[in-house]
Chains A and B, each alone.
Chain A
Amino acid sequence: MSEGPILSVEALHKYFPVRNVWKRRVGWLRAVDGVSFDVRRGEILGVVGESGCGKSTLGKTLMGIQAATSGRVVFEGHDIAGLKPHQSRKYREHLQYCYQDPGASLDPRWTIRASLHEPLVVHTTLPAAEREARVREILAAVGLPETHLDLYPHEISGGQQRRVGLARILTLKPSVVILDEPTSGLDVSVQATILNLFLDLQRAFGLTYLFISHDLSVVRLVCDRVAVMYLGRIVEIGETEQIFSAPRHPYTQSLLAAIPRIGGARVTDSFALEGEPPSPTNLPSGCRFRTRCPRASTICASEDPALTGDVAQHQAACHFPD
């Protein structure tokens, strides 16, 4: 496609102050530390990493739930990172955020109809009849009968609540939806239904997804491209197939090696990676992964590797990539 990226992130930083008991700042927690990437129109970009790597902070900073410390977020041609909430509201209407369980964000005292009308009341000036038509259309798209409009959240099942939550996100016709751990905590049989719903909706509404997840097997199936994060940085980014078949960064390699594979060699017989990620308040010098990396040498302690690659589609931040 010749079109530019729909969402472009440049050198985004989000630092949280670390304070002692007297509220004096004693350091910074660098949750997102210089992240740059583009999201193409219509693609599903996976963001994977372990807990504490900054993937959720990244999503929330893009969304404006948290203000960025520095950097640019260009969404449909507008830099929205530095804007005040009321200034960016009209752009953010088309950028939506989906929490782990979108059903849990429904007001228990509102009917489904009231919940679905709310975003339209806040963001648009549509008359009630047009709003109602839009709500019905979306409800049908997520596979719920119209009779559900008059029910309260407790009267429908958890899976249906999830669908209503999704419908609520879609009423404003977003172009990019950030999905934050959409399948964690679900049983495999239910997970499949939810994933298929995401894919159907993507086709039906021409959506672009930023798919934040720690579940690599799901990411492999769903995403077009994958970014792997470690301690606030993207350490590797590329086409899903390339990342999974030929990972270049040692962290990505260990992450993939840790997934249990039924029928294959047991991970517990061969898994070599030791230790746990260091605290993001006290990062190692140079490459952040060097404390756990089997290939680390002196240069890794002194120089922070940049995200580079021979092919533009597959980049890794490592001094000794494969």
Chain B
Amino acid sequence: MTSELIAVRGLRISFASDAGIARVLDGVDLTINRGEIMGLIGESGCGKTTLARAILGILPRNASRIDGGDIRFEGRALLDLDEATLAAEIRGRRIAYIPQDPFTAFNPVFTIGTQIADLMRFKSPLLREGGLSARERRRADHARVIDLLRQVQLPDPEGVLRKYPHEVSGGQRQRLMIAMALLPEPRLVIADEPTTALDVTVQAQILKLLKTLARDRGVAVLFTTHDLGTAYEICDRITVMYAGQEAEEAPVASFFDRPSHPYTRKLLDSLPSSENGIRGIPGEIPRLVDPPPGCRFHPRCDRASEVCRSSRPPSTPVAEAHTVRCHHPLGDVT
């Protein structure tokens, strides 16, 4: 039996924009194994949120188009499933979502308890088992909710359920989001920059919580972030994206020890530190309406040669479980 949970292969997605067709994802490969925390790193506009949304099947239907590729989750091709099946069996059940902004994710006019009860009405794992009356199931679900709220370290879980979203702090709201994502017992949780809106001390608490809970339950996490430090904290493996293409994929230790893609190297160098000083990456992120051909990083890369301008580099292994898409990877004598 393979440990592969989800495999994205050659995914290409484009969006209609005022300036033309933006090719936001251009042949992206990504594999997440069971129980693994995968970090998806990249600057804003690199397509990490689009990839997360494509997996969930929540891309805006009127503006986006899937041009090719496929997403296999537990052996099923997600892109071939119809909306009803996705909603009933996958989304919010097997794949859950933790949003970036816990402030807008709740409905302000209902209590937190009402909103969690709504979630359980449709997504409770007990629904699958059957054999329980509606009343018995509600009672069992309530016990599970309280238990999980305790596990996300919310003080006074019963009291929280009676509160409105504005009555709890940002950190607590994010704890609630984590609890709600885990309640349906998913196999994959997509966390889209879940700590960006939080302060550092709260961020450290939330990361710790997410990591422990995912480990205990064997839930895989796709953790998108633009912060390399956060990725180092929580991830088992890291994939770097640049302008709609994945550039490098590696286990976390290997990623930070020997980055092979020139973009990864520059990204690491631009972290403010006393050795590096303040260093940026010259040039700008390309416009996705007319992206550079070949490797999309070549206009900003100092190792670029003719071949980089014409063809996208294949995925080549450089170490164990460490692959890079570069014609001239670092550590290579060229």
Contact = CB atoms under 8 A, between A and B. Distances in A.
**Same assembly:** yes
Interface of A: 50-51, 157, 159, 187-193, 195-196, 199, 214, 216-218, 220-222, 254-255, 257-263, 266-269, 271, 273-274, 276
A258 B200 contact: yes
Given A188-B280, A266-B233, 14 more contacts: A188-B272, A189-B281, A190-B280, A191-B280, A192-B279, A196-B280, A217-B271, A258-B201, A259-B229, A262-B256, A266-B232, A267-B207, A273-B204, A276-B171
7 contacts: A188-B226, A189-B281, A196-B278, A196-B280, A221-B277, A258-B200, A268-B233
A216 B208 contact: no
Interface residues of B, number: 38
B201 A254 contact: yes
A131 B292 CA distance: 42
Contacts of B266: 189
B334 interface: no
A215 to B, nearest CB: 8
Given A50-B200, A276-B202, A260 B274 contact: no
A266 B252 CA distance: 12
B211 interface: yes
Interface in B272-298: 272-274, 277-281, 284
A209 to B, nearest CB: 15
B107 interface: no
A189 B270 CA distance: 6
B203 interface: yes
Contacts of A269: 208
A86 to B, nearest CB: 38
Contacts of A214: 199-200
A55 to B, nearest CB: 12
Most A-side CB within 10 Å, residue of B211, B229, B278, B281: B278
Given A50-B201, A262-B228, A268 B211 contact: yes
Contact of B201 (A190, A218, A255, A268): A255
A261 B205 CA distance: 15
B115 interface: no
A273 B201 contact: yes
Contact of B272 (A157, A220, A261, A271): A220
A274 B154 CA distance: 11
B229 A262 contact: yes
B204 A192 contact: no
Contact of B226 (A187, A257, A260, A263): A187
B76 to A, nearest CB: 33
Most B-side CB within 10 Å, residue of A157, A192, A193: A192
Interface in B218-239: 226-230, 232-234
B281 A218 contact: no
A273 B172 CA distance: 15
Nearest to A269: B208
B271 A188 contact: yes
Contacts of A221: 272-274, 277-278
B284 A157 contact: yes
A183 to B, nearest CB: 9
B43 interface: yes
Contacts of A189: 43, 266-267, 270, 280-281
A260 B230 contact: yes
A27 B78 CA distance: 55
B6 to A, nearest CB: 24
A193 B200 contact: no
A132 B147 CA distance: 68
A81 B229 CA distance: 41
A232 B170 CA distance: 19
Nearest to A194: B280
Nearest to A158: B284
B280 A192 contact: yes
A171 to B, nearest CB: 26
Nearest to B155: A275
A189 B29 CA distance: 25
B44 interface: yes
